[in-house]
Structure 1
């Protein structure tokens, strides 16, 4: 990949939705967040394993927790508390800008996560922030952007 084809994070759009239909951009979001998938590998070694070598099998996959850092506003904090009070995961959508010369529309990641807002004790360059601590659940979806 050459430098001109690097996807700039500041052009990404991070949205949330209670139903996966009506989307709203997260205001003041400074970070882009897509959960990592961490597969579990189960030890399947037995006394009859070839060469007395360990054998592994794939187990469940866990999606890692992540934090979206946003500039504080009472409206954002209130909305995040409302989502937390629902006690169910909400939908997240991360739209990447198209790769120059490669795509007419960028890739999209989607996932569901529980929301837990907090206001960290440390400010960011003098600005009060709200951290949206997310605990994803289920699969992380990926839709490839449209080619030119």
Structure 2
């Protein structure tokens, strides 16, 4: 499953943190993100239909919610790959924060999306522009939170 919500890297800042505490001014920013996937939540609906359902129509109840896997496509660097590989080898999820640029004329700060995810870096390869890239494949776990940016 892959996220269909992709944002160009110049329209957001993506940061990662082991403990959920982010350094000020983007010090934890993941360098060189070209495209950024945004997690998509997919709720499961469980069939609650019985022979006594009104009008013999199906009835549904909400079950668990799955969060889609996503990819951050980043320009390759040894430091980026080593750090991502270290996160993978730790076998623990890390905290991710995506700060979207403010909506012009509407916000003074942009919206923020936060979640935890397991990291799996891909072997570097070239993209269609000929740039050396590595994909950071993320498997979110738990809740995805959204915080609205401040209004002007």
Report if TM-score (shorter chain) is over 0.5.
yes
- CA-CA distance at 1:107 after TM superposition: 0.6
Unaligned runs of 5+ in 1: 1-6
Give the aligned partner of residue 14 of structure 2: 14
Q: Distance in 1 between matches of 2:142 and 2:103?
A: 28
Task: Show the counterpart of 1:125.
Answer: 129
Greater percentage in strand = 2
Coordinate RMSD, CA, aligned: 1.6
Aligned length in residues:
142
- Which of 133, 138, 145 in structure 2 is aligned with 1:134? 138
Residues 1:21 and 1:82: Cα distance change in structure 2 (over 3 Å): same
Q: Per-residue deviation at 1:119?
A: 2.2
Q: CA deviation at 1:143?
A: 0.8
SS of alignment partner, residue 36 of structure 2 = coil
- TM-score when normalising by structure 1: 0.90
Unaligned ranges ≥5, structure 2:
1-6
TM-score by length of 2: 0.88
- Matches of 1:135 and 1:121, distance apart in 2: 21
